[in-house]
Amino acid sequence: MKNLKYFILGCILVLGSISCKKWLDVNKDPDNPNNTSVLIQNRLPWIEHFYQYTSGIANFRTSCQTGVYYSTNGSQNTFSTTWAASTGNVTTPYQSFFIEVSSNIVDMYNSAQKQGAYYYMAAADVFHALGYMEMLDLYGEMPYTQAGTGNPSPKPDDGKTIFNGCMAKLNEAIYLFSKTQDPGAPSFAAGDMWNTGNVDKWTKLCWGLKARYMLKLSKKADLYNPDSILYCLSKGPQSNADNILAPCYNTTTDVDYLYGDPIVTNGNWDYVAYGSNQRIAQYYYNLLTNMRGAGVVDPRMSKIVPAAMSNIQLDVNGRVVSYVWNRSVGVDSYGPSTRLVKGGPTSIAQVSYAVSSTTLKYTISNPTDFANFVAAVAASGKTYSVSGTVVSVTYPAGSIYVNSTNYILAGDTSYVNLRSSSLATSGITAQGPTDLNWYINASGFTAGAIASTGSFQVRPVSDQEILTYHEMCFIKAEVMMRKGNSGDAATAYNLGIQSHINMMQTKLAQWQAAGYNNPDMWPMSTATISAYLSSSAVANAGNITMADIMLQKYIAMGCSIENYNDMRRFNFSAGNVGSFGVVYPGYDRGPLFTGTAQLTGTSKTDPFYWMRRWSLPPVYEIQYNGVNTLALNKHAADPNIWGMPVWWDCATDAEYYGYLK
């Protein structure tokens, strides 16, 4: 851990010196900066950037766990489909936080303290809380008090210690933000990419994070304090103007020096929509199309669920002249999972672009499948012929299709991937900065055949949501519901929905004004919004339930680890928390479940039935630091560690410490 720390520190310092070396002390070698000479205003934006990257990994992979995304990637598929919880998921979030963020916040704090730069000290405290709380959410126990000290074998701490430490850091940050920086201290605006030095927004971020973290204690009768949460909410964001959003761009082909990923893009996009493996899961899709069984399509659906062109017609020059939008459907891995049962958990196929007319021959021996396939081809209007058990289908030039003779895969064009292009990744020189659509290849781009319009939260230019007003509204709605005040709960719930729609609408209008050529990046119809808000898809004070609150929050949070945290607090679909019933109906192990070694619980009310944490990185904390790790939690290396609740997920300390023995 020590060597990794100083490797990354060196890289950050070098980058800082390249871009800002004119501000370095002339008596120090600008080509060999160290942890005391680097300017704090150069260090903060890199911490912000790398935190976005770290959180993007965690947001994506936990979103696979919670039914937002389906992935064909072997590791993430164990979260989205088989529940076999591969350790291939666990190292990158841990590594990127400790190497790129944690290793720098101590030095920034110390340097800022010497200069009376209280806001930079406070920002270091905020990133301490953001990062270590995320690590606690994922791993439970890990090095904390000895982390960042240079100790190559730091002892881990329990979840209670980490939680309380993070809360203490937020309290100190609030105090530091209330001070005035000393004369000569670097301007906070000079280093702050998120809020351009707006101390009021940073202070509201601290209070909002306190509310978020205190809500995690909802199972603990001795610690859960609804009035304290409400007080924190009163000090946190009060409108969308207070949202803490990390701005992201598609303005350069420069890539990250360590990972090779675009340097100014959205951290969620870096994992969800950089490549072609991810699709919308049916669980999320169903809530966007049939919330509360109302059969009403959410106006946000077409901005979140991607589309591709279909039934493409080309002109004599090979350009698209007509088409129909094929809005994706969700991949089912929780219900019958018919398609995946036939083909396998990772079998959703990638699509190809037909440069010229292409005929594929499908051999189908199953009579029912044969009849269904022929009926589907006939309905699509494609040219086809039948000979015995062979169906020949012609895909005209311009078609987006699956280039395989396996008939099971032929319909996978229904599952549009989430991919969105950037200047640094499209591979198509002529594709400009305002065209974020994904084209399968250069021929498809030249024709104008769009293979994916992308998704609102996970484009390279999407704002990365750090803390939002709509989240605060949903927290208030839950707290009021727990207090038995359904009227105020409904008011906060409706405000949460409206504020999320408004946040989206503002961004969509900005994109349209900037000239993005994608209708999924343009504003929603105000009439459709009004109709949705007044429909039976949205609850009122007379019929609101906790499930209504949490499912609307789930939609709004989308690609966020907070959905995973919320699901654990309500024991997923066990229905055994308070009198709230099943809060996440339909969320359960599907027919492709193979995680019997990782999840040993046999009933929904058994904690070990569900994925409640991640295993620690097997090399860093089991192989190299196993003596310390196993001394605290002797089960840390057990296959079923995935089902062990973290500290805040336990009703009592006795329950938690009992798991560690």
Residue 342 CA: distances (Å) to CA of 82, 212, 333, 335, 414: 14, 42, 12, 14, 16
Q: Please report which confidence band the pLDDT of residue 34 belongs to, taking 50, 70 and 90 as the band edges.
A: low
pLDDT attached to residue 261: 85
Report, in this order, helix, strand and coil percent for the chain, each rounded to 5: 50, 10, 45
pLDDT at 620: 85
- The rounded percent of the chain whose pLDDT value lies above 90 is 91
Please report, as a single letter, which amino acid is at residue 630: L
Take residue 190 and report the two structure tokens written for it.
Answer: 């000079």
Distance, in Å, from the CA atom of 567 to the CA atom of 252, rounded to the nearest integer, reads 38
Q: 197: left (phi > 0), else alpha (psi -120 to 50), else beta?
A: left
Helix (H, G, I), strand (E, B), or coil: what is residue 160? helix
Task: Check residue 32 and give its pLDDT.
Answer: 60
32 CB-near residues (< 8 Å, 6+ apart): none
**pLDDT band, residue 150 (cuts 50/70/90):** confident
Predicted pLDDT of residue 7: 36
Tokens linked to 343:
């083909």
Query: Could you give the 3-state DSSP secondary structure of residue 311?
Result: strand
Residue 138, pLDDT above cutoff 70: yes
Q: How far apart are the first and last CA of the chain?
A: 26
- Which pLDDT score is estimated for 268? 97
Contacts of 606 by beta carbon, 8 Å cutoff, 6+ apart: none
Predicted confidence (pLDDT) at residue 501 exceeds the cutoff of 70: yes
What was the pLDDT predicted at 37? Answer: 75
Nearest Cα neighbor of 465 from 549, 550, 529, 561 is: 561
Give the contacts of 379 (CB within 8 A, at least 6 positions apart).
none
Of residues 258 and 488, which shows the higher confidence score? 488
Distance of CA 97 to the CA centre of its chain: 16
pLDDT tens for 160-187 read: 999 999 999 999 999 999 999 999 999 9
Q: Tell me how far apart the alpha carbons of residues 402 and 331 are, in angstroms, rounded to a whole number.
A: 16
pLDDT per residue as tens digits for the range 584-622: 999 999 999 999 999 999 999 999 999 999 999 999 899
The DSSP result for 206-271, as a single string, is HHHHHHHHHHTTTT-TTT--HHHHHHHHHHS--SGGG-EEE--------B-TTT--BSSS-TTHHH
Are 310 and 400 within 8 A, CB to CB?
yes
| 23 pLDDT tier (thresholds 50, 70, 90) | very low
With H, G, I as helix, E, B as strand and everything else as coil, classify residue 297. Answer: coil
Q: Are 40 and 112 in contact (CB under 8 A)?
A: yes
Reported as a pLDDT band with limits 50, 70 and 90, residue 236 is: very high
- Using 50, 70 and 90 to split pLDDT, how confident is the model at 294? very high
State if pTM tops 0.85: yes
- Beta bridge partners, 390, equal 363, 387
**Helix, strand or coil for residue 32?**
coil
Averaged pLDDT for residues 505-534: 97
Q: What is the DSSP letter of 309?
A: E
Average pLDDT over the chain reads 94
C-alpha 127/C-alpha 124 separation (Å) is 5
